[in-house]
Structure 1
Amino acid sequence: MPDTATLSTKFQISIPKAVRTARKWKAGQEFVFIPKETGVLLIPVPEQADLAGIAKGATSKNYRDRKDRF
C-alpha cells in the first residue's frame, strides 16, 4: 500500500519520510501544484542554479512561431 497523508485542519499535509528521502526533498523547498483530472501533481520548483546550461547551444536563429504553422 502506498504511503498516505491526512489533510490537517490548517490545510497542511506532511509528506511521508519515505517519499521525502527517495526524492531528496528538503524543508523549505518550494513546490508547484498542477491539477490533473481528480488529483494533483506535486512538482518541486527547480533552483535557478539547477537550470543553468539546460539550453546550451540554443539560438534564436530558425525560431518557429505561429506564423509558420498550418
Structure 2
Amino acid sequence: MDTVIVSSQYQIVIPQEIRESMGIVSGQKIQMIAYRNRIELIPLKPIAQMRGFLKGIETEVVREGDRV
C-alpha cells in the first residue's frame, strides 16, 4: 500500500507503479467519488477507446412463458 502526501495546494501525486498498472497518462481525466469514509479515483477513458469492450457478452435473455 502506498502513502501520498497532500500538498499545501491540496494536490497529490499518484505513485508511478499505480499509474502504470492502471494506464493513467498525463492530462487524463479521473472521476473522484467520496464513498463512505474513503475517496475512490476512477480513470475515465475516451468513448472511442471503449469500442468493442462488450464483444462476446452473452445477450440471450431467458424469459418467463407469459412474456413475449
Q: TM-score, normalised by structure 2?
A: 0.69
In the alignment, structure 1 segments of 5+ residues that lack a partner are 57-70
TM superposition shift of 1:34: 0.9
1:27 aligns with 2:41: no
In the alignment, structure 2 segments of 5+ residues that lack a partner are 56-68
User: d(CA) in 2 for partners of 1:54 and 1:22?
Assistant: 19
Query: How many pairs are equivalent?
Result: 55
What RMSD over aligned residues (CA atoms) do the two structures have, in Å?
A: 1.6
| Shift >6 Å, 4+ stretches | none
Amino acid at match of 2:12: I
> Structure 1 48/8 Cα, relative in aligned 2: closer, same or farther at 3 Å?
same
Q: TM-score, normalised by structure 1?
A: 0.68
Matching residue of 1:49: 48
SS in 2 for 1:35: strand
**How many percent of aligned residue pairs carry the same amino acid?**
31
TM superposition shift of 1:24: 1.4
TM superposition shift of 1:53: 4.6
